[in-house]
A = this chain, B = another copy of it.
Amino acid sequence: MIIVMERNATPENIKKVTTMLAEHGFKVIEHSGDIHTVIDALGDKTSLTPGRLAALEGVKEVKIIREPFRLASRDRKEEDTVITFPNGVKIGGNNKPVSIIGPCSVDEDLDGLLAVARAGKEMGCEFLRGGAFKPRTSPYEFQGLGEKALKYLQKAKEETGLLIVTELMDSTDLDLVCEYADVIQIGARNSQNFKLLQAVGRTNKPVILKRGPANTIREFLMSAEHIMYQGNENVILCERGIRTFDSTYTRNTMDIASIPVIKKYSHLPIIADPSHGTGQRYLIEPLSKAALIAGADGIMIEVHHDPENALSDGKQSLSIPMFKDIITRINTLTGRMHYEKTCLSANLD
């Protein structure tokens, strides 16, 4: 860490900083510039956080040198994390990008869900997603079917072999969701619900962690750190768009650059969700391709057997025929991706 003192900091202020640093085992070097005194703290201790130092009188700011995420960092683990499922499906590293498809929320129409799952299977997808518990901005909107939805997903899995991805909204539902899900999804609005992150961190289920709409890349990786800190290293990050000043034509702004940035700083796999990232059907194909060619380890897209009657997110859901059409071209792209990915990796740093 580097501690920059205010221009009018007193010798006592400076002394207090250097003493606190020394007590925590840092090597301390102090320089006095024309305006500011600067204190370098060498050592890598997590026992004294930058916020503690910033609180001392006369401290202007504390600049960090090392990223605050440790478990998620590529500094700790050079090779890509690959998550392997019992059926042999793998996410991350040089593996073919995966496809996760399905409705935003599971509704009463089991046949519809089965139709989507069969289409996914036919087109080579690996995962079926569907919400049983739905976070909705409005209490007047559909909140999900709960366990019934989980049972429907189970049926689809039994028939097609697709692995199940479903969202956990509250730690009280953890056991129930674990019983059915192959991957637990943590939604964007819960990305800093630290109690929930800790709860899934104590399981060993793979977790898809969505980036919060106002989370920086660093905070996103710190949320992963919370999960990993509890012992669960099976974290799959998911870029799903951030909130910016422009939401006239798209629901969020997809931060495609976050994919190669995260590949550089972390060993964790990262997928993209262009359905939520854009909120528009016609943008799913170009943004899926953009994410994949930028290095994403998979895509998650909303497909509904009857989007016009979907109880949530119909606007951004593909119908089955649209999905088949688009995924065909995406599969063509990912068929050529191994070569591309290798090249990409070669250019990092």
Contact = CB atoms under 8 A, between A and B. Distances in A.
A304 to B, nearest CB: 9
Interface stretch (A91-99, A119-127, A202-210, A278-286): A278-286
A307 interface: yes
Interface in A252-295: 253-257, 259-261, 264-265, 277-278, 282-283, 285-287, 289-291, 293-295
A54 B293 contact: no
A328 B242 CA distance: 32
A247 B245 contact: yes
Contacts of A55: 307-310, 313-315, 317
Interface stretch (A28-36, A79-87, A155-163, A177-185): A28-36
Interface residues of A, number: 114
Interface in A305-341: 307-315, 317, 325-326, 329, 333, 340
B343 A329 contact: yes
A286 B36 contact: no
Nearest to A73: B35
Given A259-B286, A289-B290, A290-B294, 9 more contacts: A2-B63, A55-B313, A244-B255, A249-B265, A254-B257, A256-B287, A257-B277, A282-B347, A289-B340
Nearest to A326: B347
Interface in A209-253: 212-214, 216-219, 222, 225-226, 229, 242-250, 253
B329 A49 contact: no
Contact of A257 (B49, B213, B253, B261): B253
Contacts of A333: 293
B246 A216 contact: yes
A106 interface: no
A35 B66 contact: yes
Nearest to A47: B140
Given A229-B139, A255-B253, A286-B293, A38 B40 contact: yes
A7 interface: yes
Given A66-B36, A248-B217, A314 B138 contact: no
Contacts of A343: 285, 329
A8 B78 CA distance: 12
B250 A261 contact: yes
Given A35-B44, A246-B255, A51 B313 contact: yes
Given A245-B247, A254-B257, A256-B256, A169 B140 contact: no
Contact of A214 (B4, B36, B243, B257): B243
A65 B49 contact: no
A52 interface: yes
Nearest to A333: B293
